[in-house]
């Protein structure tokens, strides 16, 4: 039954995306901020299908830790489901993502139109400059820049080094709060596995990090960020059934 539901979801996901990609063509003429409701509607459909087809529900904790206005959201990354959540929680989420995703049919093009920031993970200093330049423009528009410091999806229980891009953002924009985010979506939605499990997951926003240089150099900052996220993530519940009602 789980495999069947996963297959139905996959078919529904691509059908939904294809229909909206066609309907959204006139929206490409709109400014980025005005295009945001289109993205919200698309992601809302993804979440609803996950709920009613796959049986995946979710809850959010600590959203009061996200102040109004621009912010840097440093989130754990366990599955593609993570990327469906922030449009329901933030005013203007702008993702930093690997440039390879641009080539996904329909999806990649509309991500660019929504102001997302593609990065060449092998680009070194050039990629860092590009990220900082585009992030600055997004933050000037009061966006919340979402970055996944691991740089890739990492299963629950595994710990990989965090990349320095998030520290570069924190140092470049010291007046912008950096909000760590822990989650446990990998229990139901594993990386590169097309079969998804039903269950209830949690995403938790933590208090802002102290500024870089306020008792934390860049290396210590990155360690502190990872420790906060990993410690909270370890306390989140494992896979469990969605609550009734």
Domain for residue 149, yes or no?
A: yes
Is residue 77 domain-resident?
Answer: yes
Supply the range of the domain harboring residue 158: 2-235
- Is 240 a member of any domain? no
Q: Number of C-alpha atoms within 13 angstroms, CB side, residue 39? A: 31
Task: List pLDDT tens digits, range 220-243.
Answer: 999 999 999 999 999 987 665 444
pLDDT, mean over the chain: 89
Q: In this structure, is residue 219 part of a structural domain?
A: yes
Q: Residue 75: inside a domain, yes or no?
A: yes
Strands (E), 62-143: 71-75, 93-98, 117-119
Handedness of CA 53, 54, 55, 59 (dihedral sign): negative
- Residue 245 confidence class, pLDDT cut points 50, 70, 90: very low
User: In this model, does residue 173 exceed pLDDT 50?
Assistant: yes
Task: Quote the number of domains for the chain.
Answer: 1
Compute the average pLDDT of residues 165-175: 94
* Dihedral sign for Cα atoms in the order 167, 65, 206, 45: negative
Round to whole Å and give the CA distance between 81 and 18: 19
Q: What is the pLDDT of residue 31?
A: 84
Instruction: Determine the Cα–Cα distance for residues 178 and 65; give it in Å rounded to an integer.
Output: 10
- As a whole number, mean pLDDT of residues 11-30 equals 90
Q: What gap in Å lies between CA 114 and CA 93, rounded to an integer? A: 9
Report yes or no: 236 and 186 within 8 Å, Cβ to Cβ.
Answer: no
Q: Which residues contact 119 (CB under 8 A, 6 or more apart)?
A: 96, 97, 98, 99, 127, 130, 131, 165
Residue with tokens 């919340």: 144
| 183, part of any domain | yes
223 contacts 79 by C-beta, under 8 angstroms: no
pLDDT for 243: 47
- Kindly state the average pLDDT of the residues 90-108: 86
Q: Do 216 and 152 form a contact (C-beta atoms < 8 A)?
A: no
Residue 50 lies in a domain: yes
Q: What is the CATH number of the domain that holds 191?
A: 3.40.1130.10
What are the tokens at 44? Answer: 């809302």
Give the angle 162-168-172 at the CA atoms, nearest 5°: 155
Q: What pLDDT is stored for residue 239 in this prediction?
A: 61
- Judge whether 123 lies within some domain: yes
Say yes or no to pLDDT of 244 above 90.
Answer: no
């Amino acid at each position: 039954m789980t495999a069947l539901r996963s297959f139905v979801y996959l078919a529904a996901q691509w059908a939904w995306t294809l229909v909206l990609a066609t309907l959204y063509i006139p929206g490409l003429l709109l400014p980025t901020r005005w295009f945001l409701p289109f993205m919200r509607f698309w992601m809302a459909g993804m979440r609803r299908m996950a709920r009613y087809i796959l049986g995946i529900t979710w809850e959010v904790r600590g959203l009061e830790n996200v102040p109004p206005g621009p912010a840097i959201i440093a989130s754990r990354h366990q599955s593609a489901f993570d990327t469906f959540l922030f449009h329901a929680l933030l005013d203007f989420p702008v993702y930093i993502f690997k440039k390879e995703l641009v080539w996904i049919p329909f999806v990649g093009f509309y991500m660019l139109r929504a102001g997302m920031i593609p990065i060449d993970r092998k680009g070194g200093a050039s990629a860092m400059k590009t990220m900082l330049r585009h992030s600055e423009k997004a933050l000037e528009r009061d966006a919340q820049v979402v970055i996944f410091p691991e740089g890739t999806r990492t299963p629950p229980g595994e710990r990989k080094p965090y990349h320095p891009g998030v520290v570069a953002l924190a140092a470049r924009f010291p007046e912008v709060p950096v909000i760590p985010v822990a989650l446990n979506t990998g229990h139901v939605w594993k990386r590169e596995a097309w079969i998804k499990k039903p269950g209830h997951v949690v995403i938790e926003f933590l208090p802002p990090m102290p500024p870089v240089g306020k008792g934390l150099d860049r290396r210590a900052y990155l360690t502190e960020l990872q420790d906060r996220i990993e410690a909270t993530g370890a306390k989140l519940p494992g896979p469990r059934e969605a609550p009734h009602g």
